[in-house]
């Protein structure tokens, strides 16, 4: 299995790039698509795995990664909803009306 590290402001997430293919119109979906994979250059290598750095909120990203894996997530009670939605938008997700659910952009 091909695993990569996503370095989100210093917190490492080990995952498979195939997780992102379910949502091809998101930032990570585009980044790790078959078409772009050959063009992609990692920021560094750690333990013989490619690592990609993003200056984003790692606490929120863990929920976004769960969305990629499970097609659902939630906003933790102590999280500012505005900041959560800004992070979702950065990663290429948007919501329509019901702020308890998010969907990938349909471009």
pLDDT in tens, 63-106: 999 999 998 888 888 888 889 889 989 999 876 555 555 555 44
Q: Which long-range contacts (CB under 8 A, 24 or more apart) does 28-36 make?
A: 28/68, 28/91, 28/92, 29/92, 29/104, 30/92
Q: How far apart are CA 97 and CA 50, in angstroms?
A: 38
pLDDT for the residue 69: 92
pLDDT in tens, 2-56: 899 999 999 999 999 999 998 999 999 999 998 887 788 999 999 999 999 999 9
Total Cβ atoms within 10 A of residue 79: 15
Pairing status of strand 49-54 against strand 44-46? antiparallel
Contact 34, 65 (CB under 8 A): no
pLDDT for the residue 99: 53
72 closest CA partner among 25, 22, 31:
22
pLDDT for the residue 106: 45
Contact 53, 41 (CB under 8 A): no
> Tokens 């979906």 correspond to what residue?
29
């Amino acid at each position: 299995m091909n695993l990569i590290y996503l370095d989100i402001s210093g917190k490492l997430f080990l995952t498979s790039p195939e997780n992102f293919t379910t949502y091809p119109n998101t930032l990570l979906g585009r980044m790790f698509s078959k078409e772009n994979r050959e063009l992609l250059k990692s920021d560094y290598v750690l333990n013989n795995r490619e690592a990609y750095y993003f200056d984003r909120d790692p606490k929120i990203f863990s929920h976004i990664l769960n969305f990629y894996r499970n097609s659902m997530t939630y906003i933790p009670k102590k999280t500012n909803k505005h900041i959560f939605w800004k992070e979702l938008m950065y990663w290429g997700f948007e919501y329509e009306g019901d702020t308890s659910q998010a969907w990938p952009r349909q471009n």
